[in-house]
Amino acid sequence: MDMPRRLGAEFFGTFWLTFAGCGSAVLAAGFPALGIGFLGVSLAFGLTVLTMAYAVGHISGGHFNCAVTIGLWAGGRFKASDVIPYIIAQVAGAIVAAAVLYAIASGKPDWVAGGFASNGFGDLSPGKYGLMSCLFSEVIATFFFLYVIIGTTSKGAAVGFAGIPIGLCLTLIHLFLIPVTNASVNPARSTGPALFAGGAYIGQLWLFWVAPCLGAALAGFVGRWQHDLVDTPST
């Protein structure tokens, strides 16, 4: 598949993940009487990956996440020359999604942006968890997210079903990680909302690039050893 089509798939896939995933928190989680709550937000993020994995995974590999791209490169599953273009497309998709979500949310008369589904530690953590707790949790969660992605898209895995465990894994991650960091495991998803939340959220954004990318790279190295990783994956 030619690069413009692949980058387009990554842009729209990351847009959908950020728009629908963060939108579930910003627009629907606390809505009186009909709010989807904590479980609903977790499920929404998993469903964004599941739906886009089947929609465009065969075009781009279905990364939708800078950490996934880096982890697959570290595992020998992705060309180094394609890493930067993928990351640019993913971040662009997340920023545009956050802008559209902000425009929609601000149309409600009494709406206040607040954290705007951004990630944070310390005072910006939903549960007020400190820096090291948030660092460790993001590294470990992203490690296992990539571990599942690599395992389910490797030789010998059931063909055509990878999107299901990957989407469920992201749901599971949000179920335990939202109280800690508001659940990142995705630098692009973190960047879009943080730019609109502003201030301290932008100041803490570095953690949500460093920790997911580190966890993903570690999983890639483990995967290189544990699996026969030679082809670009398709979810």
Please indicate, yes or no, if residue 123 is contained in any of the structural domains: yes
> For residue 141, is pLDDT > 50?
yes
Containing domain of residue 178, as a range?
A: 3-226
Please indicate, yes or no, if residue 231 is contained in any of the structural domains: no
Can you tell me the mean pLDDT for 33-56?
Answer: 92
Please indicate, yes or no, if residue 189 is contained in any of the structural domains: yes
Can you tell me the mean pLDDT for 58-86?
Answer: 97
Please indicate, yes or no, if residue 33 is contained in any of the structural domains: yes
The model's pLDDT over 78-136, given as tens digits with 9 standing for 90+, comes to 999 999 999 999 999 999 999 999 999 999 888 888 899 999 999 999 999 999 999 99
Q: Which residue has the tokens 């544990």?
A: 226
Higher pLDDT, 154 or 89: 89
The model's pLDDT over 181-222, given as tens digits with 9 standing for 90+, comes to 999 999 999 999 999 999 999 999 999 999 999 999 999 999
User: Considering the entire predicted model, what is its pTM?
Assistant: 0.93
Please indicate, yes or no, if residue 234 is contained in any of the structural domains: no
Residue 149, judged by CB atoms within 10 A of its CB (0-12, 13-18, 19+), counts as buried
> For residue 234, is pLDDT > 90?
no
Name the pLDDT band for 155 (thresholds 50, 70, 90): confident
Please indicate, yes or no, if residue 10 is contained in any of the structural domains: yes
> For residue 169, is pLDDT > 70?
yes
Name the pLDDT band for 230 (thresholds 50, 70, 90): very low
Please indicate, yes or no, if residue 232 is contained in any of the structural domains: no
> For residue 52, is pLDDT > 60?
yes
Dist. CA 212–CA 232, nearest whole Å: 20
Tell me what pLDDT residue 59 has. Answer: 97
> For residue 156, is pLDDT > 80?
no
- Going from the C-alpha of 176 to that of each of 89, 136, 159, 182, 207, the distances in angstroms are 28, 13, 29, 9, 18
Indicate if the alpha-carbon torsion angle 43, 49, 54, 56 is positive or negative.
positive
Total structural domains within the chain:
1
Please indicate, yes or no, if residue 235 is contained in any of the structural domains: no
> Distance between the two ends of the chain, CA-based, in angstroms?
15
* CATH assignment at residue 109: 1.20.1080.10
Structure tokens at 202: 């932008």
Name the pLDDT band for 32 (thresholds 50, 70, 90): low
